[in-house]
Structure 1
Amino acid sequence: MSTRGAAERISTATGYMLARLGDFARQRIEEEVDRWGLTGKQLRVLAYARDAAMSQRDLTALARMDRTTMTAVINTLERLRYVSRVRNTADRRKYLITVTEDGARVVEEVLAHMVKVEADFLGPLTPVERSLLNNMVARLFAAHDHECA
């Protein structure tokens, strides 16, 4: 039996610290993207759609959101005039989500700002440590991402 208390054991467990750190990062992201009237989910969808026009179904799969959440996100982005629904010429039953000029501008502004926010968040780490952390997190993500689908 461990001589350390349960509170110390849980609070120093890597998984617990990663979960808490994720909570801190999510809160920080939400606070920052709110300056543009967006949520983190809305920014993610806007960024994906910025790279290529795609169907709402494809965006739902890529962003790993349920259909109801995606519909609400797209409706809000459309109301903000950051995206539009355009009939797919290849399949007239479907619509493509396309980013407007305003939406593209906002994505670039927010992402440029988020580089500074991330640098501040990772400030306690050296550049080498930041690179190592990114590589390790990417490896863990690649190993477990399919489990989260």
Structure 2
Amino acid sequence: MWIQVRTIDGTETQTIDDLSRLTKIECLREKIQETFRVSPDRQRLFYRGKQLEDGHTLFDYNVGLNDIVQLLIRSESEAPASASVTDQDGEVNPCAISNCKNKVKKTSSGSPSQPSTSSRSFLIDPGIGLYKVCTGFKS
């Protein structure tokens, strides 16, 4: 199968051949490197509004024959953005967690303007994200 790879500004479009739906995104990046002369760490690939991530296949994103994948080329100085709370060794990065905790908005649970109900929901912060907890249900 083949797909079209187009730069995000639309100035260049190339056909990438010898692919299958089971082709890994990493392999696609290597083929794009051969065609566009852009290293894989500078490539951001998009298909139907989703960013293609390493570890997945073209099938996972439902990329088909002659579909268009968009290529955004990062600048040399731009480092890959990471929203992960783990570092390169897979260890949890405490700085990322503390930054996340600083962004959590604390709310008071007992406001006199709100009636007391058993179906009130509130947010809790276990340190890795926010979860909505619903207490009780009205029937």
Q: TM-score, normalised by structure 2?
A: 0.24
More strand by share: 2
Q: TM-score, normalised by structure 1?
A: 0.23
Query: Larger Rg: 1 or 2?
Result: 2
